[in-house]
Chains A and B, each alone.
Chain A
């Protein structure tokens, strides 16, 4: 399983990245963490002529808190997101999701931006971004633009990123003091891609959830925001009956596909289970910042 031949370049700044994209166009792939791309190349599922390595573009990595927003640079490693005090304090949802991603060695190389750009339907970060209504920052020679996460993920491995654009960062509003987060998933074994998962955040007042935002993963071509389920839950005291109603509403929100080892019906069932578990977490977990 040796990768097919390609050329390699390692730009030092985003300007050079744009130059290389201009030069090589669709023959090139952007190499971020490589945890997905290199596996695909080793399996010869892809055969680009050129790899543009983003690992040397220092300006793309790092987590900052600026103008009331948390900005996670695209080349920030999963492990660094997991260890970040800024994330722990302001983005508790990401702190909960991070340890569930694969295994330590993968988290040391895999990148936040790489995960968002790949948009694997069973990945945690895209769902977190949708749940938190994050802004995906895309840059090209003509400048930066922001696409809200909900609009960014369009289909199976399909995003709003244009071929001449680089995903440079994702920006989040920090969690409010009364908000709590939950990230629950069911996977065959620890670290496997989820059969179904949900990323959720809400303000919690007793048994009532307000401004509930959720995104499910593993149960559709993209992260799905579950508006029907949210409509059931928003602003109402959560009871077992309400949970059941929300689970039933998921039938209208989700579009799971089946595979030989997990049917669509089973994924739908699991979506209901992780929903209930996430709600349990939201109602009982300490809120952000406390």
Chain B
């Protein structure tokens, strides 16, 4: 068994938006800063750095997480999807519904809001408005007051459950 020692800098190899990437990163670099500054993927935003506002939400190995509360070094071998690489019908439909309903104003919460919204469309397309609101409750928006966002998510959910 090789002896493990802690390091202040490590090499990580991870797949981000389908692209395999190898970097050396400082141990304390969080995933949000890594994505934004090391990879130039600035669509993921930093709003609080204590896990409350949700602006940094990305997908790691299929699950939405707070990028500000993960370290880049923890993502060796991981598959990350950020808004720049979020593809597929669900995201596209959500973007369209957000757009026509003006469910974004300053846009700072929007990438994360879309990632979280996609999560509920996938997991529970029969969600009620109440359930949609609850699911979105970890994503802070100061501009919209949330209703247009809920409307947009509801519209996409309904489009998937119409038989």
Contacts and interface: CB of A to CB of B under 8 A. Distances in A.
Q: Which of B4, B57, B68, B137 has the most chain A CB atoms inside 10 A of its CB?
A: B4
Interface string A24-51: 1000100100110011011100000011
Interface stretch (B6-14, B16-24, B79-87): B6-14
A19 B138 contact: no
Nearest to A55: B74
Interface string B136-152: 01100000000000000
Interface in A20-78: 20, 23-24, 28, 31, 34-35, 38-39, 41-43, 50-53, 55
Contacts of B26: 5
Interface string B67-85: 0111101101000000000
B92 interface: no
Interface residues of B, number: 35
Contact of A16 (B4, B8, B71, B116): B4
A28 B6 CA distance: 10
Given A8-B73, A34-B69, A106 B138 contact: yes
A189 to B, nearest CB: 7
Nearest to B137: A190
B4 A5 contact: no
A7 B6 contact: yes
A42 B50 contact: yes
Given A8-B73, A109-B66, A189-B137, A3 B6 contact: no
A155 interface: no
A48 to B, nearest CB: 10
Contacts of A3: 28, 30
A11 interface: yes
B138 to A, nearest CB: 3
B65 A105 contact: yes
Contacts of B30: 2-3, 38, 42
Contacts of A1: 49-50
21 contacts: A2-B28, A2-B49, A3-B28, A5-B28, A6-B28, A7-B7, A7-B8, A8-B6, A8-B28, A8-B73, A10-B76, A15-B1, A16-B4, A31-B74, A38-B69, A41-B28, A42-B49, A51-B6, A55-B74, A79-B63, A109-B66
Interface of A: 1-11, 15-16, 19-20, 23-24, 28, 31, 34-35, 38-39, 41-43, 50-53, 55, 79, 102-106, 108-109, 189-191
